[in-house]
Structure 1
Amino acid sequence: MQVSVTFRHMDSSEPVRSYVVEKMARVKKYIDEPVEAQVVLSVEKKIRHKVEVTLAAKGITIKAADQTEDMYAAIDGVLDKLEAQLKRYKEKIKKHKPHAGHERKVAKTVYAAQSIDEGHAEPTIIKTDTFHVKPMSVEEAVMQMDLLEKDFLVFTDSNSAEINVVYRRKDGNYGLIVPQS
């Protein structure tokens, strides 16, 4: 497993780095494929220790974060959250058989509307992301969206090979956007 540790607003510490790498080894029992983990350790206002982990394996990305007054406690807390998410993922994978297929590449663009006072009617692109869209069922897309703790997910429907969007509604249910030609 490749573990990248970044220190923000604090000095780099080899004992903390070693502790993170040692603890991250716990996730190997949940994912067999090559795994890349990015761990960001930061200190805010000298009392809040924050740990953010992004775990990327083949076909899945999981994020977790925790903050406490102690860095080691924050590391333990974020690993507990990460393990809980991985357990849920493994249980759901056992229930659903994954569908094989080709991934598509999709560009996501975020627009920012200009202020009415400025008199501009055209939005400005403030961010563009490109990512691979994995073929999956609607149930798998909902599961992936929940694991990523996102409000929506763009995916390729494994049955129709069309790009769809699943999203979380304000009432707690899910919505599905299916394009028509």
Structure 2
Amino acid sequence: MQIATTFRHMEPSDALKSYAEEKLDRVKKYIDEPIVAQVFLTVEKIRHSAEVTITAKGITIKAAEETNDMYAAIDAVVDKIERQLRRYKERIKEHKPAASDSRDRQVRKTVVAAESIDQRQEPVVIKSNTFSIKPMSVEEAVMQMDLLHKDFLVFTDAGTEDISVIYRRKDGNYGLIEPTKG
């Protein structure tokens, strides 16, 4: 497991770093290698917060906790990550995924130079992200969207190999946007 620890508004501490690494070793039993974890430890006045992002084998899980003790914040965030991974693993066991294509597609967006934004009258794209689109079923896409705490997810439907979008509706249900041919 690769763990990168970042300290914000505090002095780097080997004790805190090793404590976080020791606690994160518990998640290995839920997901396969390779695992990349990013730990952000922040102190703002009396508020101590720990934020963890774990990426492994096509899934990304994020969690954050705040307390007035850094060790308690690390414990709480690792417990939250463990709960999310346990729930994810149980859902995977309940659901047998369709035969997926091993190809992951890359989606790219273009960005307009920042200097030209002020001169333009029409709206422009300010931010651009590049991400992999993993072939998955609609149920898997809903699980991944929930794990990432996002409002929508672009994915390749494993059955049709078309790019689709799953999104969270205001009423709490989900919507699915599928392309039509013709």
* TM-score, structure 2 normalization: 0.90
The 1:110–1:61 alpha-carbon spacing in structure 2 relative to 1, beyond 3 Å, is farther
3-state SS, counterpart of residue 171 of structure 1: coil
Q: Which runs of 5+ in 2 are unaligned?
A: 113-117
Which stretch of the first structure deviates more once superposed, 102-111 or 163-172? 102-111
Match of 1:114 in 2: none
Partners of 1:119 and 1:24 in 2: how far apart?
Answer: 49
3-state SS, counterpart of residue 146 of structure 1: helix
Residues 119-172 of structure 1: per-residue CA shift (max 9 Å, x gap) = 953122211111100000001000110111110000000011000000000000
**Alignment check: 8 A CA contact 2:32 2:57 kept:** no
Match of 2:78 in 1: 79
Greater fraction of residues in strand: 1
Aligned-residue offset at 1:34: 1.2
Identical aligned pairs, as a percentage?
A: 66
Match of 2:115 in 1: none
Partners of 2:34 and 2:7 in 1: how far apart?
Answer: 24
Match of 1:43 in 2: 43
3-state SS, counterpart of residue 129 of structure 1: coil
Match of 1:115 in 2: none
Aligned-residue offset at 1:180: 1.9
Match of 2:156 in 1: 156
Residue 107 (str. 1) matches residue 81 (str. 2): no
- Runs of 4+ more than 4 Å apart: 108-111
Match of 1:135 in 2: 135
Partners of 2:135 and 2:7 in 1: how far apart?
Answer: 36
Residue 126 (str. 1) matches residue 117 (str. 2): no
Match of 2:59 in 1: 60
Residue 89 (str. 1) matches residue 64 (str. 2): no
3-state SS, counterpart of residue 63 of structure 1: strand
Give, as a single letter, the amino acid of the residue that structure 1 aligns with 2:94: K
* TM-score, structure 1 normalization: 0.91
Count of residues in correspondence between the two structures: 174
